[in-house]
Amino acid sequence: MSTHIYDLFKYDTHVSFEFFPPKTNQGRKQIYQAISKLKGLNPDFFSVTYGAGGSTAERSLEIASALTNLAQVTCVAHITCVGMNRNEVKELLTSLEFHGISNVLALRGDPPKGETRFIKPVDGFSYASELVRFIRENSDMGILVAGYPEGHLESPNKKEDFKYLLEKINAGANGIITQLFFVNQYLFEFQNNLRNAGVNIPLIAGIFPISNAKQIKRMTELSGATIPEELLKDIEKHQDSSEDVEKIGTDFAVRQVEELLRGGITHFHFYTMNRHQQTRNILFQLKRFFPRLNFL
CA distance 202 to 143: 12
Q: Using alpha carbons, select from 82, 89, 60, 75 the residue that is nearest to residue 8.
A: 75
In the complex, minimum distance from the CB of residue 32 to ligand FAD, in angstroms, rounded to a whole number: 19
In the complex, minimum distance from the CB of residue 162 to ligand FAD, in angstroms, rounded to a whole number: 8
Residue from 16, 80, 250, 279 in contact with ligand FAD (CB under 6 A): 80
- When asked if residue 224 is in the footprint of ligand FAD (CB under 6 A), the reply is no
- When asked if residue 166 is in the footprint of ligand FAD (CB under 6 A), the reply is no
CA distance 81 to 64: 18
Residue 265 vs residues 47, 182, 230, 278: alpha-carbon distances, Å: 20, 14, 24, 21
In the complex, minimum distance from the CB of residue 112 to ligand FAD, in angstroms, rounded to a whole number: 9
Of 14 and 168, the one with the shorter C-beta distance to ligand FAD is 168
Active-site entry in 18, 130, 150, 246: 18
Element (H, E) at 92: helix 86-98
- When asked if residue 64 is in the footprint of ligand FAD (CB under 6 A), the reply is no
- When asked if residue 92 is in the footprint of ligand FAD (CB under 6 A), the reply is no
Which residues have C-beta within 8 Å of that of residue 175, sequence separation ≥ 6? 5, 9, 142, 144, 145, 201, 202, 203, 204, 267
3-state secondary structure of 75: strand
Residue from 17, 46, 50, 252 in contact with ligand FAD (CB under 6 A): 50
CA distance 180 to 196: 23
Residue from 38, 76, 84, 107 in contact with ligand FAD (CB under 6 A): 107
CA distance 64 to 177: 18
- When asked if residue 155 is in the footprint of ligand FAD (CB under 6 A), the reply is yes
Q: Give catalytic status of residue 58 as yes or no.
A: no
Q: What is the DSSP string of 142-178?
A: EEEEEE-TT--TTSS-HHHHHHHHHHHHHTT--EEEE
- When asked if residue 127 is in the footprint of ligand FAD (CB under 6 A), the reply is yes
Residue from 16, 49, 102, 279 in contact with ligand FAD (CB under 6 A): 49
Instruction: Convert 180-201 to b/e letters by CB count within 10 Å (16 or more is b).
Output: bbbbbebbbebbebbeeeebeb
Of 201 and 247, the one with the shorter C-beta distance to ligand FAD is 201
CA distance 129 to 106: 8
The stretch among 49-57, 86-94, 135-143, 243-251 that binds ligand FAD (CB under 6 A) is 49-57
- When asked if residue 102 is in the footprint of ligand FAD (CB under 6 A), the reply is no
Residue from 99, 108, 133, 267 in contact with ligand FAD (CB under 6 A): 108
The stretch among 4-12, 38-46, 47-55, 190-198 that binds ligand FAD (CB under 6 A) is 47-55
Query: How many residues line the site for ligand FAD (CB under 6 A)?
Result: 24
**Catalytic residue list:** 18
Positions in the binding site for ligand FAD (CB under 6 A): 49-50, 52, 78, 80, 105, 107-110, 127-129, 146, 152, 154-155, 160-161, 164, 168, 177, 179, 206
